[in-house]
Chain A
Amino acid sequence: MVGLLGFVSVWEAAARFELANPVLISSPTSVVLALKNWALSGMLLRDLGTSLWELTVAFGASAIIGIPLGVAMGWNRTTEYALDPFVWLIYSAPLVSFWPLFIIWLGIGVKAIIALAFLFSIVQVIINTMAGVKGIDPVLVRCARSFNASPFDLFFKFILPGALLMIIAGLRLSIGRALIGVVIGELFSSNAGLGFHISYYGARLRFADVFAGLFMIVLVGIFTTQVIRIVEIRLTRWKV
């Protein structure tokens, strides 16, 4: 905490006494002022809403599609081997390079941003789910089978709970990645959202507003991660 305060005061002092160009580095007080103006103008709510909406859709879709895919890959060798090259390619490629392609396919706007964020986040979900399912003790599965568990039971009573810790860890990482996707997409082209705010005021050299935008993004990142952490604690209480 002291470190944070120290940083803020050094920043303020640097701007006040013009150790660095105040236009370029702004200052904490003007950032707070910019935040206030942003909130009062009502734009903050709009930008925040847009970004959160994009984030939710992209993250939700990647969870809904990614978890079954991950389970399939963890469960079945052939599926894993078949999908492995694609997953690793998407995992390690700089995904922004797909951005122009999304614009051609989906048009500039929310859809392309969601697609980018989706691509960013889904791989993490798949990889973690797969690792979680693979990590389940085979003895447990054999035990379930010998008690005549249906595939349905097997899935909901053994695989899902068994892999839960890993899956949620994956979701936590993936929401961060989805946020990166949303911000980059908005930065490149959009007319609303936190990334748009940053890019708009950045181009006008109003850095107090840019810092205000960055601040909000950090808040969103911390908030979403915390939410998932709370869910994680709730869901894994039985595990001790």
Chain B
Amino acid sequence: MKRWKRSVIGGLAVIAFLILWEIAMPLRLVKVADISRPSLVVMAFFELAESGEIFPHLVISLKEFIFGFILALIVGIPFGVVLGRYRLPALLLDPLLMALYTMPRMAMMPLLVVWFGIGLGATIAVVFLGAVFPILVNTSVGIKEIDKIWIKAVHSFCGNEWDIFKKVLLPGVVPQMMTGIRLGVGRGLLGMVVSEMYASTAGIGGQIALYGNSFRTTELIALIAVISLLGFFTVDLMRRVEERVRRGRAEV
């Protein structure tokens, strides 16, 4: 019932917004700016899809994103576990990590372009940098929040470090880690688009920059919608997974 009401009202609001948008230009509700119209945008989208123009770029973007993100997982999770579990590395690296975590890492773009080369390399690097810190920090916080009693329990049953890791830390950290991964997905996608737009390379971000520079607002909005919905659904998926994981935890 509640669920039903939520989607109906939400849907109605979206439809109202689209109608308002559709009539805004013909009725001159907005001055000067070209805001296009949803119907035109949808048509532009189908044109782009039909001509197949958009797919190679989408594939490139996704490839870059997936590479960078997997790299972030491979580095972020183990580092997070180590930093959460042991004091010395945490004390050593904390200031550095915090500085990097708070810094808008997209600002490193000009450096990355030179270090890793325009295109694939730089984009993967930005996605990695964007995604790795939320994952790492959340994982280490999650590990720190695990009740020490469990670790003591493993010790008193003569368990070794591997047992602690396998039976206490790993299962205990999963919900918090998922939060980090969800945040990382958002940051990674942002990094992907920034990088592609900055260097105007192939990929969906490059296309956005291209259409933006040629003032083709309709196609531009169509592409923005594609990338936004992509972000929306990915993050939503991650949110669902996260909720599922948390719920599983509560039942135990």
The residues of A with any CB-CB pair to B shorter than 8 Å are 1-4, 6-7, 24, 77-78, 81-86, 88-89, 91-101, 103-105, 176, 179-180, 183-184, 187-188, 194-195, 198-199, 201-203, 205, 207, 210, 213-214, 217-218, 221-222, 225
Contact = CB atoms under 8 A, between A and B. Distances in A.
A239 B7 CA distance: 37
B94 interface: yes
B217 A104 contact: yes
Q: Which secondary structure characterizes the binding site on chain A?
A: helix
Contact of B106 (A3, A77, A187, A194): A187
Contact of B193 (A4, A97, A179): A97
Contacts, number: 159
A231 B190 CA distance: 30
Given A105-B35, A184-B106, 13 more contacts: A2-B91, A83-B13, A89-B229, A91-B186, A92-B231, A93-B229, A94-B194, A97-B228, A100-B208, A179-B104, A184-B194, A187-B109, A198-B107
B5 A221 contact: no
Nearest to A176: B102
Contacts of B198: 187-188
B212 A213 contact: no
B33 A105 contact: yes
26 contacts: A7-B96, A24-B114, A24-B115, A81-B5, A81-B10, A84-B10, A85-B11, A85-B14, A86-B13, A86-B14, A86-B17, A96-B194, A96-B197, A96-B205, A97-B193, A100-B211, A100-B212, A101-B224, A176-B102, A176-B104, A183-B106, A202-B110, A205-B114, A214-B103, A214-B107, A221-B103
A207 to B, nearest CB: 6
